[in-house]
């Protein structure tokens, strides 16, 4: 027997319609790419998104066509998103921090027909435009006055283009499993891979994101997503915030400590989300000027492991810290470290121990850990295994790739190595390719990095496994010191000693000027392994 409830497809554009109807006057504030702070509302964004749909349709864009955006977090970018998805076209967010050749590869692979971009990226696109045969037109997200001279094909200023539409347009219903958006993983190994979200998966993900143990904002909160729209849907915030009628503050291109602080302060932001690097810049800026953020209540941090010292800095400010783990293939939320019983009342170090885990999943994500043969491992908080996930917002295949990516039970291998404790809290111990295999045992590079950055002179730390004649691999700690600070190899090892098992201690410490990062801000271990290819431990004996 079938249920007797309405067949109401879960479609992304219904979210902005809801925001416009019930929270129409709620503000969306942007630090515009042109400079000034600009203010709009959900009602206005909805109206203009309909015009985007109308214009795309006039330009021949149909259901299933890909439209790229290469843009910062702004209200215009949000309008484009909903306008593209509303006609069943696919919003392909391109990460501008990738190498130009990777951007060209991705646009060609996706066969994008239109590229919508900020003035900032016009020079970059001009360099690769000759290699982009599928692109028929470039829409530059600015007005006539700021439109640069450009050689880009059929280039038009967004405001002029939009002004041609009368806005008499309605979005139609279609199958909720229709593709809505795509995002390529940064591909630190091999070619980038296209993750293709559906309307249904994005809407379900927005419900998950909006649960209280996840991002959980309300119509009285103010959210500033520092995490870009091109980084896995800004962790779903582009959907979850309008779904709740949460005021949005969009930071545009300025993500440095001073600029983010200024917006947090002047817009009375209560909730914000970003990667650790962003919070490091903010905290440094605040410490230097002895600044406070009395309105800030909640900071989400993910993308890479949040250092304990950073968690403590926010806790000491009275801010709720939500350490999150996820990935592009998961839309992207996987787990978040909320404090639940029996941990709710913990204080001090015991509380930090729980906040530093990657947390437990919202309803809609299932996890398991297995050994290399696929056998499930116990949830004892100690045994590490390959972390695998399943759920309605988890990828089942990559775009135009035939390879099977799910195991026989339908779980996707995240490439992470993790423990899970009896309460369901997951802790990432490594990427499966970064874990250090010493004498048959595994050492977590992330644990060592987190510990090392707790040293007051250390700005950033990376650990890689280096060949050892007796143990196969041993950890090498690579350190970048804070400007103007000094520390020796011995200082750092002494600081770590006693805080981890003896056999986990790095065999050596080397100091570097800078640690390389991927386009999404993660430490680029492949480059470090290359750089230290010839390195040998001083006292390595078989
Ligand atoms: P990429 O395109 O670089 O793979 P993703 O954002 O999809 O970008 O990266 C997902 C990976 O980032 C995860 O598989 C995990 O290794 C790492 N990651 C994300 N959040 C965390 C976290 N809180 N702690 C540790 N690692 C994390």
Q: How far is the CA of 521 from the centre of ligand 1 (A)?
A: 10
Mean pLDDT taken over the chain = 95
Distance CA 460, CA 284 (A): 14
SS3 for 491? helix
Q: How far is the CA of 326 from the centre of ligand 1 (A)?
A: 6
Strands of the 426-431 sheet, one edge to the other: 366-370, 385-390, 412-420, 426-431
Distance CA 11, CA 448 (A): 44
Question: Is 137:156 a contact under the CB 8 Å cutoff?
Answer: yes
Q: For a substitution probing ligand 1, which of 393, 416, 453 has the most ligand atoms within 8 Å of its CB?
A: 416
**What share of the chain has pLDDT > 90, as a percent?**
88
Q: For a substitution probing ligand 1, which of 522, 526, 527 has the most ligand atoms within 8 Å of its CB?
A: 522
Tokens coding 498 = 């006693």
CATH architecture, domain 436-531: 2-Layer Sandwich (3.30)
Q: Is the per-residue pLDDT at 542 higher than 60?
A: no
126 in catalytic set = no
Distance CA 496, CA 499 (A): 6
Ligand 1 close to Cβ of residue 323 (< 6 A)? yes
Ligand 1 close to Cβ of residue 445 (< 6 A)? no
* Cis peptide bond prior to 332, omega within 30° of 0: yes
Ligand 1 close to Cβ of residue 478 (< 6 A)? no
Question: Is 18:49 a contact under the CB 8 Å cutoff?
Answer: no
Instruction: Indicate where the chain has its CATH 2.30.38.10 domain(s).
Output: 364-431
Q: Is the per-residue pLDDT at 311 higher than 70?
A: yes
- Could you read off the pLDDT of 84-94 as tens digits, one per residue? 999 999 999 99
Phi-psi region of 54 (alpha: psi -120 to 50; beta: other; left: phi over 0): alpha
Q: How many CA atoms lie within 13 A of 273 on its CB side?
A: 33
> Looking at residue 187, what is its pLDDT?
60
Question: Is 205:333 a contact under the CB 8 Å cutoff?
Answer: yes
Of ligand 1's listed atoms, the one at least distance from the Cα of 518 is 3
Q: How far is the CA of 327 from the centre of ligand 1 (A)?
A: 5
Distance CA 414, CA 139 (A): 36
Distance CA 76, CA 74 (A): 5
Select which of 437, 470, 494, 499 is catalytic: 437
Element (H, E) at 96: none
Output the pTM of the full model.
Answer: 0.90
Q: Is the per-residue pLDDT at 367 higher than 80?
A: yes
Distance CA 480, CA 357 (A): 25
Strand partners, 468: 472
The residue with tokens 């066509």 is: 65
Query: Whose CA is closest to atom 9 on ligand 1?
Result: 327
> Looking at residue 248, what is its pLDDT?
98
Of ligand 1's listed atoms, the one at least distance from the Cα of 231 is 6
Distance CA 291, CA 69 (A): 36
533 in catalytic set = no
Angle between helices 445-452 and 489-496 (to 10 degrees): 110
Ligand 1 close to Cβ of residue 357 (< 6 A)? no
Instruction: Indicate where the chain has its CATH 3.40.50.12780 domain(s).
Output: 13-26+41-200
329 in catalytic set = yes
Q: Is the per-residue pLDDT at 519 higher than 80?
A: no
Mean pLDDT of 328-354: 97
- Could you read off the pLDDT of 216-267 as tens digits, one per residue? 999 999 999 999 999 988 999 999 999 999 999 999 999 999 999 999 999 9
What lies within 8 Å, CB to CB, of 473 at 6+ separation is 436, 437, 438, 465, 466, 467
Short-list 64, 334, 65, CA closest to 208? 334
Q: How far is the CA of 4 from the centre of ligand 1 (A)?
A: 41
Ligand 1 close to Cβ of residue 374 (< 6 A)? no
Burial string for 133-146 (b: 16+ CB within 10 Å, else e) reads ebbebbbbbbeeee
- 364-431 placed in CATH 1.10.10.10: no
Using the 8-state DSSP alphabet, how is residue 88 labeled? T
Query: Whose CA is closest to atom 27 on ligand 1?
Result: 304
With 0-12 / 13-18 / 19 or more C-beta atoms within 10 angstroms meaning exposed / middle / buried, residue 479 is: buried
Ligand 1 close to Cβ of residue 300 (< 6 A)? no
**Domain spanning 13-26+41-200: CATH superfamily:** ANL, N-terminal domain (3.40.50.12780)
Tokens coding 512 = 């570097």
Q: How far is the CA of 459 from the centre of ligand 1 (A)?
A: 20
SS3 for 473? strand
Q: For a substitution probing ligand 1, which of 184, 234, 327 has the most ligand atoms within 8 Å of its CB?
A: 327
Burial string for 345-366 (b: 16+ CB within 10 Å, else e) reads eeeeeebbebbbbbbbbbebbe
DSSP string, 196-255: EEEHHHHHHHHHHHTSTTTT---TT-EEEE-S-TTTHHHHTHHHHHHHHT-EEEE-BT--
Query: Whose CA is closest to atom 3 on ligand 1?
Result: 186
Instruction: Indicate where the chain has its CATH 3.30.300.30 domain(s).
Output: 436-531
Ligand 1 close to Cβ of residue 185 (< 6 A)? yes
Mean pLDDT of 506-533: 90
267 in catalytic set = no
Q: How far is the CA of 304 from the centre of ligand 1 (A)?
A: 5
Mean pLDDT of 482-488: 93
- Could you read off the pLDDT of 63-79 as tens digits, one per residue? 999 999 999 999 999 99
150 pLDDT tier (thresholds 50, 70, 90): very high
Q: Is the per-residue pLDDT at 188 higher than 60?
A: no
């Amino acid at each position: 027997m079938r249920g007797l409830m309405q067949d109401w497809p879960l479609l992304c554009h219904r979210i902005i319609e809801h925001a416009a109807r019930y929270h129409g006057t709620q503000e969306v504030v942007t630090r515009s790419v042109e400079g000034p702070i600009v203010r709009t509302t959900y009602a206005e964004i909805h109206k203009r998104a309909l015009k985007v749909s109308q214009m795309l349709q006039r330009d021949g864009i149909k259901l299933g066509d890909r439209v790229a955006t290469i843009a910062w977090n702004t209200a215009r970018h949000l309008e484009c998103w909903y306008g593209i998805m509303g006609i069943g076209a696919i919003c392909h967010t391109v990460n501008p921090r990738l190498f130009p050749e990777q951007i060209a590869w991705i646009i060609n692979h996706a066969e994008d027909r239109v590229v919508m971009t900020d003035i900032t990226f016009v020079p970059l696109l001009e360099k690769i435009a000759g290699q982009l045969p599928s692109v028929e037109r470039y829409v530059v997200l600015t007005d006539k006055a700021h439109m640069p001279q450009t050689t880009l094909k059929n280039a038009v200023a967004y405001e002029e283009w939009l002004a041609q539409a009368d806005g008499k347009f309605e979005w139609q219903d279609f199958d909720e499993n229709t593709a809505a958006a795509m995002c390529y993983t940064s591909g630190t190994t091999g070619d980038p891979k296209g993750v293709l979200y559906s309307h249904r998966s994005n809407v379900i993900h927005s419900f998950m994101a909006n649960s209280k143990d996840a991002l959980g904002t309300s119509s009285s909160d103010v959210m500033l997503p520092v995490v870009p729209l091109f980084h896995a849907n800004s962790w779903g915030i582009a959907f979850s915030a309008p779904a709740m009628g949460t005021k949005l503050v969009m930071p545009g291109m300025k993500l440095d400590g001073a600029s983010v602080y200024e917006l947090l302060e002047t817009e009375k932001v209560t909730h914000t989300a970003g990667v650790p690097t962003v919070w490091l810049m903010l905290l440094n800026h605040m410490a230097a000027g002895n600044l406070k953020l009395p309105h800030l209540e909640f900071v989400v941090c993910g993308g890479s492991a949040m250092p304990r010292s950073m968690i403590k800095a926010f806790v000491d400010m009275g801010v709720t810290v939500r350490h999150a783990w996820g990935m592009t293939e998961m839309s992207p939320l996987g787990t978040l470290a909320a404090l639940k019983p029996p941990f709710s009342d913990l204080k001090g170090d015991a509380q930090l121990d729980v906040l530093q885990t990657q947390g437990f999943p919202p309803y809609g994500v299932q996890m398991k850990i297995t050994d290399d043969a696929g056998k499930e491992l116990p949830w004892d908080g100690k045994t590490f295994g390959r972390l695998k996930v399943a759920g309605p917002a988890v990828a089942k295949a990559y775009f135009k790739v035939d390879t099977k990516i799910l195991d026989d039970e339908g779980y996707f291998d995240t490439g992470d190595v993790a423990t899970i404790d009896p309460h369901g809290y997951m802790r990432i111990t490594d990427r499966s390719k970064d874990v250090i295999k010493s004498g048959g045992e595994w050492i977590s590079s992330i644990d060592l990095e987190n510990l090392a950055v707790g040293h007051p002179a250390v700005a950033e730390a990376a650990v890689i496994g280096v060949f050892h004649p007796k143990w196969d691999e041993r950890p090498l700690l690579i350190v970048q010191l804070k400007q103007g600070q000094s520390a020796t190899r011995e200082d750092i090892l002494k600081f770590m000693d006693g805080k981890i098992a003896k056999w986990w201690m790095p065999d050596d410490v080397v100091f570097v000027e800078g640690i390389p990062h991927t386009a999404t801000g993660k430490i680029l271990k492949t480059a470090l392994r290359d750089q230290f290819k010839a390195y040998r431990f001083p006292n390595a004996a078989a």
